[in-house]
Structure 1
Amino acid sequence: MIENNIIYASGNDPEMIKAFEKAQQTFKYFWRELNWEFRRIVPALDLACVKIAFMQEVSREEPIVEYMWINDIGFDGDTVTGTLINDPDLLTNVKNGDFIDVPLGQVSDWLFASNGKTYGGFTIQLMRSRMLPEELKEHDEAWGLDFGDYNDIEVVSGQKGHPENLVEHPMSVNMKDKLIDFLKQYPQEISHKDESGYTLLHRETVAGNRTSVEVLLQSGADVHTRTHSGKTALDFARQLEWEHLIPLLENN
């Protein structure tokens, strides 16, 4: 169902604008979950996708805007990448299957689902709140997912029973010993930079993994190392408002 779900929102719709803002503020949790999904042997997510605001200037008129979904998501702390999975209705500057590279500010929603239960989906939940009971039933059946209560949107798995998951992903804690062993076996990985100048410390900070960051710092990771764009791990922690990481990085 998601491939055909295109949403148009008026700039005069304050509730929709708030949904966009909430999606951007919480996108870091989406990325944290996806970051761990990439490392799982057995996948835990049914889907993971991001809705982007696409725009096109047309003569002197106001820009055309369409909100469409991408998957195969990447994120470096600044830029969201992925593949467009919608056919544009009006736009001619993008097409289904295009590689997309946009700043976080163009994100209008995100959604992941595990065991049929959804997380995020702020614009979807707003639309659900405006549906009649029969429309709501048809919508949820079409998606085949449990959207739960549109007044109580969760952003991380186990959030209600384990609110500490908002601070630390369980896998970050559980994988601590394996990370320690990995760094002992391959100490060069502590200072290794990828093609964009990111170290493991940068990547784990962007993903909000406190335990992983602690292990890297204890193993000698340099907090002053900068990416090719000039950013330290602390810069990303502040930018993404990972409050549990900022003191760690400031004091090293």
Structure 2
Amino acid sequence: MKHLINRRLSLRYHLMVLGMAAFLLGSCQHAGKETGWDAKKQMYFAKTDDPEMAEAIRQSRETVNQFLTALASGDTTAYNFGVKAAFPIPDGTNEHIWLTDIRANGDSIIGVIDNQPDVITAVKFGQQVAIHKDSITDWNYTKNGKLIGGYSIRLMRRRMSKEEQAEFDKQMSFTIE
């Protein structure tokens, strides 16, 4: 997958607190053998055939209307709205990039690229883009201090060691149930 007084703190602020938090900034699907966290690139790499990641994406897409309803609700206890979207790369796979400062217009989602892309050059960190809601591969927001959605975040956290999970949890402004 890039926030202060108005409670719409950007996802980037929370995710960049430590290198551990940067774990969430971006992810790529690829056919190579190297998977997991790449500290140098500050990205998580998943194989294109990762069944758990495919399930996280399926859940995100199945529940995206829950996200859109919360976004439109004006509920002040819900904040830090973000979506992760798939951007195609030349090898036929996708780079998944977080967008923040989200607003919806019909089936279009407008947001700001929230992490530095690794492969694609068509978009850059801080650029505003519009995507179709069908390209969303994850979504999340915080409500009453708890992470809502964030299916890929939950998966990546589950894959951390207990020590990494504890460090991650200390750095986040939300809890994961």
TM over 0.5: yes
Q: Say whether residues 1:11 and 2:41 are aligned partners.
A: no
CA distance in 2, matches of 1:10, 1:106: 18
Counterpart among 71, 78, 83 of residue 34 in structure 1: 71
SS of 1:30's equivalent?
helix
SS of 2:120's equivalent?
coil
The structure where strand makes up a greater share of residues is 2
Contact map agreement 2:103 2:109 (CA 8 A) in 1: yes
Q: Say whether residues 1:143 and 2:172 are aligned partners.
A: yes
> After superposition, where does 1:230-245 map in structure 2 within 5 Å?
none
CA distance in 2, matches of 1:138, 1:68: 23
Cα shift at 1:11: 1.3
Cα shift at 1:64: 5.5
CA distance in 1, matches of 2:47, 2:108: 25
Cα shift at 1:146: 0.3
CA distance in 2, matches of 1:113, 1:44: 8
Aligned to 2:3: none
TM-score by length of structure 2 reads 0.71
Aligned to 1:2: 15
> After superposition, where does 1:42-57 map in structure 2 within 5 Å?
43-57=76-90
Aligned to 1:114: 143
SS of 1:118's equivalent?
strand
Contact map agreement 1:109 1:122 (CA 8 A) in 2: yes
- CA gap of 1:77–1:25, structure 2 versus 1, over 3 A, is farther
- Say how many residue pairs are matched: 140
CA distance in 1, matches of 2:55, 2:168: 22
Aligned to 1:243: none
Q: Per-residue displacement from partner, 1:141-166 (whole Å, max 9, x unpaired)? A: 22232012xxxxxxxxxxxxxxxxxx
The amino acid across from 1:47 in the alignment is: N
The amino acid across from 1:21 in the alignment is: R
TM-score by length of structure 1 reads 0.51
**Cα RMSD over matched residues?**
1.8
Higher relative contact order (CA 8 A, sep 6+): 2
Counterpart among 159, 163, 174 of residue 130 in structure 1: 159
CA distance in 2, matches of 1:128, 1:97: 26
Aligned to 2:101: 72
Unaligned runs of 5+ in 1: 149-252
Unaligned runs of 5+ in 2: 1-13, 17-21, 29-45
Give aligned-pair identity as a percent.
31
Between structure 1 and structure 2, the one with the greater Rg is 1
